[in-house]
Amino acid sequence: MPRVAEVLGPQGPLRDAIASRLDTIPYHQQQHDDLCQLEIGVGIEASGLSILPWGEEKISSQSPLILVRDVITDICDPLWEDGTFHSIIADAISGSDMHSGIKKPRFWLPVGDVAEAIRIMVIENKLPAPGQTLLMAGRKPWWPEAVYAEAAHLWNRYSASVEGTHRPSTLEQPPMTPLPGGHDKIARPNLDRIDRHMRNCGEPHGWRPSGSLRLAIMRVFANLYE
């Protein structure tokens, strides 16, 4: 069956997720005859749309450009992330202290939200205009201590289910992690442009990533021990 777009770039979980979501678009939903010629580069520049890691603003791409920040993939992909998220999960599973260098909050964004947003843009034939770079990132800042506490609780719950050793503590919600001092002064990513763009694509709530961090953690568990 003809595809609406050709996804180019190095193999990896983000590229695979985007290609899989685009493959769900029925061919008849193309809004223009030339949509099948659309080339999307994931990790590389391409003529139709370039999707690159945040920090690549220096690239003067002539094609529509999306920068992705703090994306979470099931398996660590060094092209898109520095390993912080997966390192926190590994420490939580082992009960080790987090690496001392992990201190700053991150705006974690599950990979599925990236892929779904690009799918919507392609269906609506509303890619970002050249020179109007879109930044994708999560809206909520996650401090490493909060991610660690969530992962440790989920791992304890999972282990108790496997071993049949549930206690009240494993069935409760994860404990609240106090916010550190100065939490209200952190620099947040400017998501106004992606919010306006998604509204223009027919999304009534704009840029509102729906992916659950809890589900993202569980998916990392599944890939560690499949």
The pLDDT value given to residue 21: 94
Provide the 8-state DSSP code for 184. Answer: G
The pLDDT value given to residue 35: 45
Q: In terms of Cα–Cα distance, which of 72, 74, 76, 96 is closest to 221?
A: 74
Residue 116 confidence (pLDDT) above 90: yes
Pinpoint the alpha helices (H) of the chain: 13-22, 84-94, 111-124, 144-163, 168-171, 192-200, 213-224
At 172-214, the pLDDT tens digits run 666 666 566 556 678 889 999 999 999 999 999 999 998 788 8
Note the maximum CA span of the chain.
Answer: 59
Percent of the chain with pLDDT over 70: 80
Residue 34 confidence (pLDDT) above 60: no
The pLDDT value given to residue 175: 63
Distance CA 109, CA 74 (A): 12
Give the residue, 119 or 38, on which the prediction is more confident.
119
Provide the 8-state DSSP code for 47. Answer: S
Mean local confidence (pLDDT), 110-137: 93
Residue 58 confidence (pLDDT) above 80: no
